[in-house]
Structure 1
Amino acid sequence: MTNRSVLVVEDEENLVEALRYNLEHEGYTVLTAPDGGSGLETARAALPDLVILDVMLPNLDGLEVCRILRRETDVPILMLTAKGEEIDRVVGLEIGADDYVTKPFSMRELMARVRAMLRRPRKTASARMAEPLRSGSLAVDVDAHQASLNGEELRLKPREFDLLALFMRNPGRAFTRDQILEQLWGHDYIGDVRTVDVHVRWLREKIEVDSSTPARIITIRGVGYRFEG
């Protein structure tokens, strides 16, 4: 028997119960969440040993949950994807999922994947130290919480630092304001979405040659922002 815990983030009740039955039969403690937002909260609070994460979820999709979790922890993540959705599998693995199974799947196969993933050693704290993020003369050391431009330290407020790190981890990716709010302020934030615009403006004033014609953080009309480096 084992005292390890598994978090199942899945909105199909029948599948949740089937997973719960089989996981508990193997001796695992099972936690469940019906949507991405509550799944993220549960993962942060309970620190499970493994997360089984569906891609298609209400509130916050599984790919975003995976991206956020991988930024915060090295917990093993097993993605559940729909048959034929190769793009979900590829993106999931690229953003940090450890493995995936395609629906409909054999419960025996899934349990074998779970056992194999839990046998893998977790990274040590020293191995998790992130490499500094670099884009030309701009550098961010997430572990040291330091940023510099042309070798000079940037004095950034905490949210500005987090925003810059988010952009530099995802060069070329378009973010909506809601996605930025979700990742930096949390899904339960109830303030004005324009707070993102304010922080982007402040950040531009510190990293752009001319903040009125930005070359690093680009506004995408009707969408949000993209970091060009």
Structure 2
Amino acid sequence: MERRVAVVVEDDADIRGLMAELLGQSGFTVHQAGTGAAGVAAVREHAPAVVTVDLGLPDFDGYEVTRQVRRFSDAYVVMLTARTEEIDTLLGLEAGADDYVTKPFRPRELRARIEAMLRRPRTSGSLPVVPGAAAAEPAAAPAADAPDATLEPADSAAPAPVPPPSSGVPAGSAPSGWSAPVPAQTPAVPSPLPGSAAPAPHAEPAVDARLELDGLALYPQLHRVDAAGREVPLTPTEFLLLETLLRSGQVVRSKAQLARTVRGDDADAGTYVPKADERSVEVHVGNLRRKLADDPNEPRWIQTVRGVGYRMAGRPVAVS
């Protein structure tokens, strides 16, 4: 179940109150902070799903708040500022923000952006992420997010998962795309202990399901990525982009398609995508490559198709 907790970091009391009211109307429990230090402490204490950060704060700026928050939380971070220069947007995204909204903003649009972020595939209750500590809990989350989380694979050659023979799911009936870790199927997998039915929901056999490509492994339910034997911490947006590219295989995804995916739209909906959103995708992919240590000149995983977009350098496989 989705945790509706938010932290508002804003030094202007009027705007802070407006944000608290706006998020409160959307069903959030809102905690407010007037300084960067207080904001970081509030995020650490309340483990919110969403954090809004003003760029100009009395102690240190919103960039530093975002960087510090990213050290222990994968909350969605929305940066709010009156600065409209492209460099400010890029700095905010590079610091780890998921979205950048300029003031004055339209409350309905901001609320829609936040709701779109919350529809992205992620593991409920993973704030902050503790690797390996919540392996028994994530199974309930994908059921609520499944309609928005499942991405149809553009690469038809990528093998679809085959349910275990003992699962009770007929071969060939797996959902389109790699959506094997669907909680509704979990109870059908027998417990490893004969005659014991109760432990089955906690055995989580599908939690190890992953997408793999040449030493890169992505675990959708754990919201975890391993690259060349090391765990790589990613922001929710970076994780979503990598998962989308892995599911697409060697089929190129344009910057516009990826931008629609990031904002929660259908990738092929044909809706308008401003250049700023495409540029944001470039920054996020650049951050992703840097964290993966993937050289764009000699890519091991993510290839740039000039003038078009991005694709994976090989054919990812789904392993369950």
Bigger mean CA deviation after superposition, 44-53 or 81-90: 81-90
What is the correspondence of 1:23-38 to structure 2 with a 5 Å cutoff?
Answer: 23-38=23-38
Task: Work out the CA distance in 1 between the residues paired with 2:231 and 2:93.
Answer: 22
Q: CA deviation at 1:77?
A: 0.5
Q: CA deviation at 1:117?
A: 1.1
Q: Does 1:84 align with 2:67?
A: no
Question: Relative contact order (C-alpha < 8 Å, sep 6+): which is higher?
Answer: 2
Q: Is this contact kept in 2: 1:3–1:29, CA < 8 A?
A: no
Aligned residues: 137
Q: Which residue of 1 aligns with 2:50?
A: 50
Task: Work out the CA distance in 2 between the residues paired with 1:130 and 1:59.
Answer: 36
Where does structure 2 lack aligned partners over 5 or more consecutive residues? Answer: 124-219, 233-289, 292-320
Task: Work out the CA distance in 2 between the residues paired with 1:7 and 1:81.
Answer: 16
Q: Which residue of 1 aligns with 2:121?
A: 121
Deviation string for 1:172-214 (max 9, x for gaps)? Answer: xxxxxxxxxxxxxxxxxxxxxxxxxxxxxxxxxxxxxxxxxxx
Task: Work out the CA distance in 1 between the residues paired with 2:54 and 2:225.
Answer: 28
Q: CA deviation at 1:131?
A: 4.7
Q: CA deviation at 1:129?
A: 4.6
2:8 is paired with a residue whose SS is strand
TM-score scaled by structure 2?
Answer: 0.39
Task: Indicate how the Cα distance of structure 1 residues 125 and 44 shifts in structure 2: closer, same or farther if over 3 A, else same.
Answer: farther
Q: CA deviation at 1:126?
A: 4.7
Task: Work out the CA distance in 2 between the residues paired with 1:100 and 1:33.
Answer: 19
2:7 is paired with a residue whose SS is strand
Task: Indicate how the Cα distance of structure 1 residues 3 and 57 shifts in structure 2: closer, same or farther if over 3 A, else same.
Answer: same
Task: Indicate how the Cα distance of structure 1 residues 62 and 130 shifts in structure 2: closer, same or farther if over 3 A, else same.
Answer: farther
Q: Is this contact kept in 2: 1:54–1:79, CA < 8 A?
A: yes
Task: Indicate how the Cα distance of structure 1 residues 55 and 130 shifts in structure 2: closer, same or farther if over 3 A, else same.
Answer: farther
1:72 is paired with a residue whose SS is coil
1:84 is paired with a residue whose SS is coil
Bigger mean CA deviation after superposition, 61-70 or 114-123: 114-123
Q: Does 1:95 align with 2:191?
A: no
TM-score scaled by structure 1?
Answer: 0.53
Identity value in percent: 44
2:71 is paired with a residue whose SS is helix
Task: Work out the CA distance in 2 between the residues paired with 1:56 and 1:92.
Answer: 12
Q: Which residue of 2 aligns with 1:66?
A: 66
The structure where strand makes up a greater share of residues is: 1
Bigger mean CA deviation after superposition, 26-35 or 67-76: 67-76
Task: Indicate how the Cα distance of structure 1 residues 131 and 29 shifts in structure 2: closer, same or farther if over 3 A, else same.
Answer: same
Q: CA deviation at 1:46?
A: 0.7
Q: Is this contact kept in 1: 2:55–2:79, CA < 8 A?
A: yes
Task: Indicate how the Cα distance of structure 1 residues 63 and 25 shifts in structure 2: closer, same or farther if over 3 A, else same.
Answer: same
Q: CA deviation at 1:121?
A: 2.0
Task: Work out the CA distance in 2 between the residues paired with 1:38 and 1:131.
Answer: 34
Deviation string for 1:86-136 (max 9, x for gaps)? Answer: 222101112221111101111111111111111112265754356579xxx
Task: Work out the CA distance in 1 between the residues paired with 2:60 and 2:119.
Answer: 29
1:51 is paired with a residue whose SS is strand
